[in-house]
């Protein structure tokens, strides 16, 4: 595509990418060989098959199996720096990387050791790859109140220096069961100065996005693609220009939309919503951030100016201060 060089050269930021979900195929194979006996395969071909998902619950199961291979803080640091390398190679200048500390706590890593690894990785990423890394801590919803408590405790009592946000991911359909615990965790995280950056409206409807706005104080929405079913919600998101972290290939791979051509991104733009493009779990979805920009150009007929607008949207929706944003724009 003639836009490939343009997309590559565009200075970009990534707002929605998960740490374990951005582990490269070689890195996952190395971890699987080091910790054999689990469900994660040991060859590249088999891992590619393992990364074909029937639906979101199946994806979540695979994601957990890969998370369980990360056993010590050194692995956490290696994953951050590997992600930073892969993003810097795409001319990504800054990333807000979502870490799920509960998944590392539950295999026995002490919070201070996880934090030390995350802090060290920020410095290494900057020195080796010239990219700024910030962190978002997210609650894995399937683990309920224990996860809310562990994530909040980590964020409040052992925060990495670069921690900017608090989120929630995993299966949205279990949120109602733990409504108060999740809401209380967001209230406390926001009181401590963290930005509220939850997933919502990826696999369930507008009610989850309303919940995120009204009860979590959401400042951006992870995905948010199912907002279109509620015109009043669309009007609210437009009026307040709440950024949506749209991840088109992710939505195809987890079965939210049948093909990229069926993705609602063009409708979100027509409605005047604030759209950013992101990669979510790139090796698991066989994509990259530049791949998402190219896919959007090809599937929806976007041109260079449209892609530049999307890239600028992400810079402006980021947690960078005005000076940090100016360095990229």
CB of 18 to ligand ADE, least distance (A): 4
How many H-runs (helices) and E-runs (strands) does the chain carry?
16, 9
292 binds ligand ADE (CB under 6 A): no
* Binding characters for ligand ADE, 45-74, by CB under 6 A (x = yes): ------------------x-----------
Determine contact, residues 202/235, Cβ cutoff 8 Å.
no
CB of 311 to ligand ADE, least distance (A): 21
CB of 301 to ligand ADE, least distance (A): 26
Determine contact, residues 196/190, Cβ cutoff 8 Å.
yes
Token digits of residue 67: 């998370």
Determine contact, residues 196/216, Cβ cutoff 8 Å.
yes
Nearest alpha-carbon partner for 28 in 308, 284, 286, 294: 284
- With CB under 6 A as the contact rule, the residue among 96, 219, 280, 292 that binds ligand ADE is 280
Tell me how crowded residue 114 is: count the other CB atoms within 10 A of its CB.
21
CB of 329 to ligand ADE, least distance (A): 28
CB of 144 to Zn ion, least distance (A): 19
CB nearer ligand ADE, residue 211 or residue 280: 280
- With CB under 6 A as the contact rule, the residue among 7, 15, 21, 104 that binds ligand ADE is 21
- With CB under 6 A as the contact rule, the residue among 86, 202, 219, 245 that binds ligand ADE is 202
14 binds ligand ADE (CB under 6 A): no
CB nearer Zn ion, residue 96 or residue 280: 280
Burial class of residue 303, CB neighbours in 10 A (0-12, 13-18, 19+):
exposed
Among Zn ion, ligand ADE, none, residue 170 binds (CB under 5-8 Å by kind): ligand ADE
* Binding characters for ligand ADE, 233-272, by CB under 6 A (x = yes): -----------------x----------------------
280 binds Zn ion (CB under 5 A): yes
245: left (phi over 0), alpha (psi -120 to 50) or beta: beta
245 binds Zn ion (CB under 5 A): no
- Residues belonging to the active site: 202
Query: What is the distance between the alpha carbons of residues 262 and 288, in angstroms, rounded to a whole number?
Result: 20
Token digits of residue 128: 């080796």
170 binds ligand ADE (CB under 6 A): yes
Cα distances (Å, whole numbers) of residue 31 to 235, 255, 315: 46, 27, 33
Nearest alpha-carbon partner for 109 in 71, 137, 65, 78: 71
Tell me how crowded residue 110 is: count the other CB atoms within 10 A of its CB.
12
Cα separation of the two ends of the chain: 24
Among Zn ion, ligand ADE, none, residue 63 binds (CB under 5-8 Å by kind): ligand ADE
Interface residue list for ligand ADE (CB under 6 A): 18, 21, 63, 169-170, 199, 202, 250, 280-281
Query: Which residues contribute to the site for Zn ion (CB under 5 A)?
Result: 280
């Amino acid at each position: 595509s003639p836009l490939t060089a343009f997309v590559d050269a565009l200075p970009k930021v990534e707002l929605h990418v998960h740490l374990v979900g951005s582990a490269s195929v070689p890195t996952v194979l190395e971890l699987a060989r080091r910790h054999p006996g689990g469900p994660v395969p040991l060859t590249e071909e088999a891992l590619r098959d393992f990364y074909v998902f029937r639906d979101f619950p199946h994806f979540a199961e695979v994601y957990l199996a890969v998370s369980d291979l990360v056993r010590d803080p050194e692995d956490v640091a290696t994953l951050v720096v590997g992600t930073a390398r892969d993003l810097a190679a795409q001319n990504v200048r800054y990333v807000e990387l979502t870490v799920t500390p509960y998944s590392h706590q539950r295999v026995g890593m002490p919070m201070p050791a996880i934090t030390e690894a995350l802090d060290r990785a920020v410095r290494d990423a900057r020195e080796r790859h010239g990219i700024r890394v910030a962190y978002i801590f997210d609650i894995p919803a399937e683990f309920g109140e224990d996860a809310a408590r562990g994530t909040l405790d980590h964020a409040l009592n052992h925060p990495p220096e670069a921690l900017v946000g608090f989120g929630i991911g995993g299966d949205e359909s279990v949120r109602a069961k733990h409504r108060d615990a999740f809401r209380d965790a967001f209230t406390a995280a926001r009181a401590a100065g963290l930005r509220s950056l939850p997933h919502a409206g990826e696999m369930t409807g507008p009610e989850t996005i309303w919940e995120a706005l009204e009860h979590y104080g959401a400042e951006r929405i992870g995905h948010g693609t199912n907002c279109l079913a509620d015109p009043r919600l669309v009007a609210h998101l437009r009026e307040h220009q709440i950024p949506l972290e749209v991840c088109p290939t992710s939505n195809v791979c987890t079965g939210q939309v049948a093909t990229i051509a069926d993705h609602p991104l063009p409708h979100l733009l027509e409605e005047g919503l604030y759209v950013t493009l992101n990669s979510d779990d790139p090796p698991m979805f066989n994509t990259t951030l530049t791949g998402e920009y190219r896919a959007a150009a090809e599937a929806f007929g976007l041109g260079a100016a449209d892609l530049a607008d999307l890239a600028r949207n992400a810079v402006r929706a980021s947690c960078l201060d005005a000076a940090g944003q100016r360095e990229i724009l």
